Amino acid sequence: MRRRSETLERLGSEASLCRLFTPRVFMMESDAERGAAAIKQQFLTTKEHFHEFLSSRRSVQSQDGTQDSEPERKRMKMEEECDLKEKRKENKKMFRGQNKSRPRVKPHSYEEKRLCPSIVQERDTGCSFGDKCRFLHDVGEYMLSKAADLGDRCPLFSSQGKCPYGVTCRFARAHTSAEMKNLVNEEVFRASSGQESVRNLLDKDLQRRLRKKSEDFPRTQEFLQSIRPEKKIQTAGPEEKLLEHDAGAGGDAQNGATPPGKTVGPITDDDIIKLRPCEKKQVDFRDKLYLAPLTTVGNLPFRRVCKLLGADITCGEMAVCTNLLQGQASEWALLKRHCSEDLFGVQVDFVDINSGCPIDLVYKKGGGCGLMTRTNKFEQIVRGMNSVLDVPLTVKIRTGVQQNTNIAHKLIPEMKKWGVSLITLHGRSREQRYTKSADWDYIDSCARLAAPVPLFGNGDILTYEDAVKARETEVSGVMLGRGALIKPWLFTEIKENRHWDISSGERLDILRDFTNFGLEHWGSDTQGVEKTRNFLLEWLSFLCRYIPVGLLERVPQKINERPPFYMGRDYMETLMASQHVDDWIQISEMLLGPVPKNFSFLPKHKANSYK
């Protein structure tokens, strides 16, 4: 903690060092043509000087005793990647999308010896595995191998009055006695025990029923029977039965009659009278700032940060329905919702179908963008979900699949008939991904076509000026994706109609909020710390693309403009501009302590949006 504070105190004096490593560099016209952002001349530098400056700082920290550089295995991986890029620049597709061959290390592998959960939770019954338990039962032996504590304040103990991780917590000295017993702040614990901070948790009984395929979905079965009356649909439940419909039963079903089948309990209005669309729960989406559903980086702690900075609507990460129906805990974890998310997509407020996902794995199975070309299946999904939901159903689409073939304008009139409550349109096709500018003229024409159903536009919004221009079209609101990842304070800028020349210290505070939220969500033990670090590093791979407003020759920065090498106004601002994994790790160490010896990281997403 002392070393971290000393590091931050030196930031002001290090601004002079930045100037020493800033040679006069004149941006050529060809650089601007290649899509580089325009930065004031006094801040521009060369790649060599930029890395020389940051390397010199790492060397100083190494002499001070802090860990220097990244593990050799990961360094070799990065160098091979860079060499390959130089050799094959002409092959653009090779470096698009994701780092699919990146090293994967599970967070629990960072601890050589782990303490038995029965000891951590201080159970009176002891360990149920006895001598066969593979974990340690000696607290003293565990403490000898445990990584050093990270500070005197535990986020979980501060917010809940009790830390469930006990002595394994990396802030254990904040809530453990001299006898290594877990302490409880009774006042805070009583106040928080009646509050539900995280919702949409997977119930164990429900998970068991899903895995055994014994959960009954009567509304779903009714809808399937209505679209396939000639087939026998098997219902799951205590008494399984085959529902049979003859050819003459279709008229009764259309008139609202209940299909033949065994029922249990009294009949209510909900059983025989379906809600009309106007009677369903309504959500006022207009003029709201909508955070897009984002894979990996759109996690719960990140969404909490965006809520603090002004986001109105949040949406969980894309979840695969097949995995949800199989009771996979990892997939259900994507649906978790924090109590601060007052307007949340997936559960409670509304449900969103993401048919704009361009990922190959999803598309090749007919999901995501693949649904846009499978109109019959798309219609069945939307109508089917509408028939069983009591909340609004929204749909996210792209302009189309192929680059020069827009099809969204053909789908939108049909989706209005299917009963969607809101449409979100990303202004690019699947083939374009993020390499071309979003087509807001097309979004505008589609918004007119969608009326009176609200349509949100999405694509290339990085400043409040972009949002103002977008709102001059007929869209009902805007959805923010990459812009929120690069600068989450974009929500504040839009609501206050200003460019925020945010300081490096303020940006570091935002990262500190994220790490605290991450430790609350993923845990404050070593496994939780490293999981939080991993997601922080994924986010830093986007944050490094931000260029401070005070350094720009031309305001605002465009989302597809490549940041040239520049020196910030202080050391931290320069460090945050680095696109090197070493420097991201250094930032994470300021907040989460040194990385483990076997730590390895490569970002999931590659930056292929620059021209």
Q: What is the pLDDT of residue 416?
A: 93
Q: What is the pLDDT of residue 597?
A: 85
Higher pLDDT, 31 or 435: 435
Average pLDDT over residues 293-322: 90
189-194 long-range contacts, CB within 8 A, separation 24+: 189/160, 189/161, 189/162, 190/161, 191/161, 192/159, 192/160, 192/161
- Reported as a pLDDT band with limits 50, 70 and 90, residue 454 is very high
Neighbours of 566 (CB within 10 A): 22
- Report the range of poorest mean pLDDT among 8-22, 188-202, 458-472, 554-568: 8-22
Read off the tokens for 367. Answer: 């999901």
Instruction: List the domain boundaries for the chain.
Output: 117-199, 289-500
How far is the C-alpha of 345 from the C-alpha of 290, rounded, in Å?
10
Q: How far is CA 30 from CA 34, 89, 432, 509, 559, in A?
A: 6, 18, 24, 37, 19
The three-state (H, E, C) secondary structure of 337-390, written as one string: EECCCCCEECCCCEEEEECCCCCHHHHCCCCHHHHHHCHHHHHHHHHHHHHHCC
338 forms beta bridges with: 198
Query: Mean pLDDT for the chain?
Result: 81
What DSSP character marks residue 350?
B
Q: What is the pLDDT of residue 59?
A: 61
Residue 480: phi and psi, rounded to 5, are: -110, 125
357 included as an active-site residue: yes
Read off the tokens for 171. Answer: 């802030």
Q: What is the pLDDT of residue 276?
A: 62
Q: How far is CA 484 from CA 356, 459, 574, in A?
A: 18, 11, 21
Of 218, 210, 338, 201, the closest CA to residue 267 belongs to 218
Write out the H or E segment, with its range, that includes residue 13. none
Strand duo 337-338 + 351-354: pairing: unpaired
Contact between residue 384 and residue 378 where contact means Cβ atoms under 8 Å apart: no
How far is the C-alpha of 602 from the C-alpha of 80, rounded, in Å?
13
Is the overall model pTM greater than 0.85, yes or no? no
Write out the H or E segment, with its range, that includes residue 605. none
How far is the C-alpha of 440 from the C-alpha of 427, rounded, in Å?
6
Of 586, 607, 597, 605, the closest CA to residue 533 belongs to 586
Percentage of residues in the chain having pLDDT higher than 90:
46
Q: What is the pLDDT of residue 494?
A: 97
- Report the range of poorest mean pLDDT among 126-130, 226-230, 502-506, 560-564: 226-230
Helix axes 504-522 and 300-308, enclosed angle (nearest 10): 140
The 10s digit of each residue's pLDDT in 115-171 is 999 999 988 888 988 889 999 999 999 999 999 999 999 999 999 999 999 999 999
Contact between residue 401 and residue 429 where contact means Cβ atoms under 8 Å apart: yes
Q: What is the pLDDT of residue 274?
A: 59
Write out the H or E segment, with its range, that includes residue 191. helix 186-193
Q: Pick the most confident of 138-147, 347-356, 494-503.
A: 494-503
Of 375, 369, 440, 437, the closest CA to residue 412 belongs to 375
How far is the C-alpha of 226 from the C-alpha of 219, rounded, in Å?
11
Write out the H or E segment, with its range, that includes residue 356. none
Is the backbone of residue 390 left (phi > 0), alpha (psi -120 to 50) or beta? alpha
Neighbours of 31 (CB within 10 A): 16
Of 433, 217, 204, 198, the closest CA to residue 334 belongs to 198
Per the residue annotation, which of 116, 306, 357, 544 is the catalytic one?
A: 357
Contact between residue 118 and residue 128 where contact means Cβ atoms under 8 Å apart: yes
Q: What is the pLDDT of residue 101?
A: 62
Q: Within 64-154, where are the H helices?
A: 72-87, 117-120, 139-145
Higher pLDDT, 571 or 333: 571
Q: How far is CA 110 from CA 373, 585, 590, in A?
A: 45, 16, 19
Q: How many CA atoms lie within 13 A of 105 on its CB side?
A: 22
Q: Is the C-alpha dihedral spanning 319, 324, 329, 335 positive or negative?
A: positive
Residue with tokens 């929204």: 394
- Please report the DSSP string for 23-36 in residue order: ------HHHHHTTB
Question: Which residues have C-beta within 8 Å of that of residue 460, sequence separation ≥ 6?
Answer: 427, 437, 438, 440, 466, 483, 558, 559, 560
Contact between residue 454 and residue 473 where contact means Cβ atoms under 8 Å apart: no
Contact between residue 241 and residue 261 where contact means Cβ atoms under 8 Å apart: yes
Higher pLDDT, 605 or 441: 441
Helix axes 581-592 and 47-63, enclosed angle (nearest 10): 40
Contact between residue 243 and residue 233 where contact means Cβ atoms under 8 Å apart: yes
Q: What is the pLDDT of residue 60?
A: 58
The 10s digit of each residue's pLDDT in 193-245 is 877 788 888 888 888 888 888 888 888 888 888 877 655 444 444 333 323 33
Of 603, 575, 524, 439, the closest CA to residue 156 belongs to 524
Contact between residue 463 and residue 499 where contact means Cβ atoms under 8 Å apart: yes
Q: How many residues does the chain have?
A: 611
Read off the tokens for 194. Answer: 């009646």
Residues 289, 292, 298: CA angle, nearest 5 degrees: 120
The 10s digit of each residue's pLDDT in 244-294 is 333 333 333 334 444 434 444 444 555 455 556 566 666 778 889 999 988
Q: What three-state secondary structure class fits 322?
A: helix
Query: Which CATH number is correct for 289-500, 3.20.20.70, 3.30.300.30, 1.10.260.40, 3.30.465.10?
Result: 3.20.20.70
Helix axes 2-9 and 581-592, enclosed angle (nearest 10): 120
Q: What three-state secondary structure class fits 120?
A: helix
Contact between residue 97 and residue 606 where contact means Cβ atoms under 8 Å apart: yes
Q: Is the C-alpha dihedral spanning 66, 70, 73, 79 positive or negative?
A: negative
Of 190, 139, 143, the closest CA to residue 162 belongs to 190
> Is the model's pLDDT at 413 over the cut of 80?
yes
